[in-house]
Structure 1
């Protein structure tokens, strides 16, 4: 009677992790799903269980990556809006965001370019730069604060820009 030899998952996992490190954030879920699926399939000798675990892991990791990216995006927008909210028309300053996780940190400059008349909220147009790593880009957005409030918030959705990468 011949025995089936299982793949050595101890050797396979580090190889797949190395590929993940080179692939970037957009493929983290697929890589994690592949590792979990292969390891589970090898441990249970059942490819259906391995596939189910792999797909579930991929979905969970993708959701986590998107949550972290959206959270960092919101923090960056709030930082820019709060910095600009302290300035008068024509005023300029620098802004900076440092995240808990060691990626996505950015800084830049901003200027309050215009005020927008509105009976419900104080709104203004700001021009800002974002420097992230070796990349710099310029943007224009709108921020508003409810009448009588000192809390300025991002007021413009921008899913059509390349600024937020894979969040589009």
Structure 2
């Protein structure tokens, strides 16, 4: 079976999904992904449901389920990208003494969001000998924009420094912590 043998609604769903996959390979496409994932998944789910059943209620349920699953998968992926950025910042700051400054940067394997970079400094050490932690101040620097600054905490976990702030930047990442 080739694409021309597919029903029109299925062909459209394949086109939408292909466009979404192409978008994943282009940096700076996160807003399109956020807005388009649910819509594309709804269309694809409706196309699949239409091929499976003639019952409108069942088809709607399948479409909504696919849409919810796609949105959850995108949010999961975004949380992983944010966690990777937090790990990079924590690694850069972990070995620093108070008032020392280091650079940090991210490079995402899947460009859901653009790569970021900035500077990080340790403002104070907190915790104790059995729970060493640091309060850090970091910047996110973008070309042509003023730097954005954030405060967070990191703690040592064995040999690694990990992000320890429960809500690092709601303004920066919305509810996707």
**TM surpasses 0.5:** yes
Q: 1:103 corresponds to which residue?
A: 112
Distance 1:129 1:69, change over 3 A: same
C-alpha distance in structure 2 between counterparts of 1:117 and 1:54, whole Å: 50
Quickly say closer, same or farther: Cα 1:87–1:67, change in 2 above 3 A. Answer: same
Report what 1:9 is aligned to.
Answer: 9
Question: Which residue in the other structure is 2:4 paired with?
Answer: none
Q: Distance in 1 between matches of 2:123 and 2:12?
A: 55
Distance 1:145 1:77 in 2: 14
Q: How is 1:43-62 mapped onto 2 (pairs within 5 angstroms)?
A: 43=51, 44-62=53-71
CA contact 1:29–1:57 (8 Å) conserved in 2? no
Matches within 5 A, 1:18-37: 24-37=32-45
User: Following TM superposition, by how much is the alpha carbon of 1:46 offset from its aligned partner in structure 2, in angstroms?
Assistant: 3.1
Alpha-carbon deviation of 1:82?
A: 0.7
RCO higher in structure (CA 8 A, sep ≥6): 2
Aligned length, in residue pairs: 160
Stretches of structure 2 lacking an aligned partner (at least 5 in a row): 1-6, 24-28
**Alpha-carbon deviation of 1:41?**
4.8
User: With structure 2 as the length reference, what TM-score do the two structures score?
Assistant: 0.73
- Contact 1:90–1:113 (Cα < 8 Å) also in 2: yes
For 1:4, the equivalent position in structure 2 comes to: none
Other-structure match for 2:46: 38
What secondary structure does 2:141 align onto? Answer: strand
Structure 1 Cα separation of the partners of residues 105 and 18 of structure 2: 32
Q: How does 1:1-168 map to 2 (within 5 A)?
A: 8-9=8-9, 12-13=12-13, 24-43=32-51, 44-104=53-113, 105-131=115-141, 136-146=147-157, 149-158=158-167, 161-167=170-176
Q: What is the rounded CA distance, in whole Å, between the counterparts of 1:117 and 1:9 in structure 2? A: 59
Cα drift, residue 37 of structure 1: 3.7
Tell me how far 1:129 sits from its aligned partner.
0.7
Give me the whole-angstrom Cα distance separating, in 1, the residues matched to 2:143 and 2:57: 42
Q: Which runs of 5+ in 1 are unaligned?
A: 1-6
| TM-score (norm. length: structure 1) | 0.77
Q: RMSD in angstroms over aligned alpha carbons? A: 3.1
Query: Rg bigger for which structure?
Result: 1
